[in-house]
Chains A and B, each alone.
Chain A
């Protein structure tokens, strides 16, 4: 059971859950940029959250399904066409053998995940099936997918006939909780927040910032009015995380993303709350964001409600899947 990559887009990699326990030797957790979309894709297919998924970035993606498969596309900003027939994201789909899938950039959004029933065959490195591009390990031969690569599934117990969407998915209402249409990204204070001048704090919370084109899986660079500290300081290297916002020497900001380094030496002026990372991951270069400071309890409440949302989806979909393919 396999697919063939005809057009990979600008970056296509096998991603999976975070690699845990190796930050102290400089190996970051990696993982999906949009963990909600990746996990939801697996759950919609009755998979565990540990299965690998393929993360595709714009602009145009084309895949040949060499065998019939049950798959699910999740994410934002793409229209899905299977043999030129439009089909929905966020729903499991039976895909007929020999189908050609096209993902075309449409509305706002940046990346899309392809999960498959029973999971993709991927190399496990340090407990995760995700690709570590830096050291060329895990995922698909430790590298990104290229034209004509063939990605295999673990196994398949389901017979697939005609291409069709299965009768369950995630409602728009649930999706709006994760990807609200506003440009607001919520942050909590970080260790060097208080060192910002009061003018800079005002700017951080009232101005807009534009994600610039030098952004990638390691970090999103922002353009905006420059910020400064009340006294210049050179920091010694210290741990950082996905969502840490650092102030660069030129006064601009960078938000560390999924493939961030484990430690960094720039002042950490805020952290994006975990619940808003999926939304942030789906914002394209050129688009604006606004920061809103929230309290730690609020950040934790949001994180828990997101976890509950996914837990409910998991149980619900497992039942649906087992019923449907009985």
Chain B
């Protein structure tokens, strides 16, 4: 089942999606499997036959889940919408192939691009596309740059990019169309960990600039 709040990107709407996801993570119904928050929607996955068995008076499992979720939505308070997590710090060596292009687009120096990118915190709106790929935002309007016209065949793991008002990190090497401004030496997605992803939806992230030698020292790949 999908709860959709429209097709707009709005931080408050996204926070409601994340709050529903968190609420279901701490308390849910018999047959619930998992939920996925996105920009302005939440996907709810459940085992239809278990839901039906546990609620024999409901005509369908869908009907029960729908009612359950409406209840959660009604009860959401402003407190649930607050973020309590402290910022996750991500070191970046700003040497991406598109750093010059992004600077040029906005008549900035590359140092100014770095200062603007590291100058604020970002929220993880959602994770998707690849395991661990966090869509974060919003970047300073002076950095917002559309995706490349034709995607690169291979974007190296750890690349930090910009697409429109979003910023993100490639957790694996993959094809991709984001404007690459730098690279992080740390593992965003580590299959050897019980919870392999450094981020969760709703987390706050801050980037800081490191030198080439620091990059080499911290390199986890």
Contact = CB atoms under 8 A, between A and B. Distances in A.
Interface of A: 20-27, 125-126, 132, 134-137, 142, 191, 233, 235-241, 261-264, 274, 296-297, 300, 303-304, 307
B119 interface: no
Given A236-B9, A300-B62, A24 B127 contact: yes
10 smallest CB-CB distances across A and B, nearest first, come from A239-B43, A263-B128, A25-B197, A137-B191, A239-B36, A26-B131, A23-B36, A307-B49, A26-B127, A236-B39
Interface of B: 2, 4, 7-9, 21, 33-43, 45, 48-49, 52, 59-62, 126-133, 135, 171-172, 189, 191, 195-197, 199-201
B128 A304 contact: no
A125 B195 CA distance: 11
A304 B191 contact: no
Contact of B48 (A137, A191, A241, A304): A304
Given A24-B37, A238-B4, A261-B128, A304 B172 contact: no
B48 A303 contact: yes
A236 B35 CA distance: 18
B71 to A, nearest CB: 20
Nearest to A138: B191
A300 B47 CA distance: 10
15 contacts: A20-B34, A22-B34, A23-B45, A24-B35, A25-B196, A27-B132, A125-B191, A233-B7, A236-B38, A237-B126, A241-B45, A261-B129, A263-B126, A274-B48, A304-B48
Nearest to B21: A24
Q: Which of B43, B59, B131 has most A Cβ within 10 Å?
A: B131
Given A26-B197, A300-B48, 6 more contacts: A24-B201, A135-B172, A135-B191, A235-B7, A236-B39, A261-B130
A27 B189 CA distance: 11
A135 B130 CA distance: 9
Nearest to B41: A238
Contacts of B60: 296-297, 300
A58 B132 CA distance: 32
B42 A239 contact: yes
A239 to B, nearest CB: 3
A300 B49 CA distance: 8
Contacts of A261: 128-130
A313 to B, nearest CB: 15
Query: Chain A CB within 10 Å — which of B43, B171, B200 has the most?
Result: B43
B49 A238 contact: no
A135 B193 CA distance: 13
B191 A25 contact: no
A236 B128 contact: no
Contact of A134 (B9, B45, B131, B197): B131
Nearest to B199: A25
Contacts of A20: 33-34
B86 to A, nearest CB: 19
Contacts of B172: 134-135
Contact of A23 (B34, B48, B52, B171): B34
A306 B48 CA distance: 12
Contacts of B48: 274, 300, 303-304
Nearest to B18: A24
A263 B21 CA distance: 15
Contacts of A137: 191
Contacts of A135: 131, 172, 189, 191
A25 B196 CA distance: 9
